[in-house]
Amino acid sequence: GQQLNQSPQSMFIQEGEDVSMNCTSSSIFNTWLWYKQDPGEGPVLLIALYKAGELTSNGRLTAQFGITRKDSFLNISASIPSDVGIYFCAGQLTGNQFYFGTGTSLTVIP
Amino acid sequence: GAVVSQHPSWVICKSGTSVKIECRSLDFQATTMFWYRQFPKQSLMLMATSNEGSKATYEQGVEKDKFLINHASLTLSTLTVTSAHPEDSSFYICSARETGLVWQPQHFGDGTRLSIL
């Protein structure tokens, strides 16, 4: 199946700093999703995006659906230690076709 | 919010054993569920799409006879790893999407860690 390119692969930041990560694809997606996964657990949905250009916030998280529909980014403002985890983007082509990004591992240093 | 329950959380068994993993949607009906496999520090790879009342759709390279999927009700899908071998050891995660809402996101279970000795 398809895989989305996510960058950076890993990040080490100081508590309080802002974080930005992005996801790109050669394919056009109809929906973009961002998930966070803690070790040994399933991914948890953070933000869902349904329209090109859409900018959506969820607390300190902001995500945008790229205008070309081939990319998306996620920003986390004022990071805190509990933001640690692996963040995955996911693109949806049709109702049953979801593809995940390669993941961004985030470490927040207190 | 939507909750997906996966059972068991962890399985350790001998090579040659068949292992069944259950995925249940607890507060919604799911015509479609999905099964993923995840190796350490890697992304989720879709194995198959489970359709209630019909055959599952498998991704290229996934052996249908090895990974049996049954979706007998609107709230339950099972994945059976038949004659498991050490190379089948992995983290298996299911997800479900609420029936009738095509563009609703998938909600994930907490995964099953399978270790074959």
* C-alpha to C-alpha distances, B49 to A92, B20, B56, nearest whole angstrom: 14, 17, 6
Q: Which residue of B has its CA nearest to A47?
A: B105
| Residue B1: pLDDT band with limits 50, 70, 90 | low
Q: Answer for the pair B35, B79: CB distance below 8 angstroms, yes or no.
A: yes
**Which residues from A are below 8 Å from B46, CB to CB?**
1, 98-100
Give the whole-angstrom CA distance, residue B30 versus residue B11.
Answer: 25
Q: Do B59 and A41 touch (CB under 8 A)?
A: no
Contact criterion met (CB below 8 Å) for A84 and A107: yes
Q: A16: how many CB neighbours lie within 10 A of its CB?
A: 11
pLDDT in tens, B53-108: 889 999 999 999 999 999 989 999 999 999 999 999 999 999 998 877 666 778 89
How far apart CA A58 and CA A52 sit, in angstroms, is: 18
- What is the distance between the alpha carbons of residues A64 and B1, in angstroms, rounded to a whole number? 23
Residue B64 CA to residue A73 CA, distance in Å, equals: 36
The predicted-structure confidence for A66-107, as pLDDT tens digits, reads as follows 999 999 999 999 999 999 999 999 998 776 677 899 999 999
Question: What is the nearest CA distance from B102 to chain A, expressed in angstroms?
Answer: 5
CB interface of B with A, residues 43-102, below 8 Å: 43-46, 49, 57, 59-60, 91, 93, 95, 97, 102
Exposure pattern of B68-80 as b/e (b: 16+ CB <10 Å)?
bbebeebbbbbbe
- Asked if B113 is an interface residue toward chain A (Cβ–Cβ < 8 A), one would say yes
Residue B45: its chain A contacts at CB < 8 A?
A: 1, 100
pLDDT digits (tens, 9 = 90+) for B11-47: 999 999 999 999 999 988 988 899 999 998 889 998 9
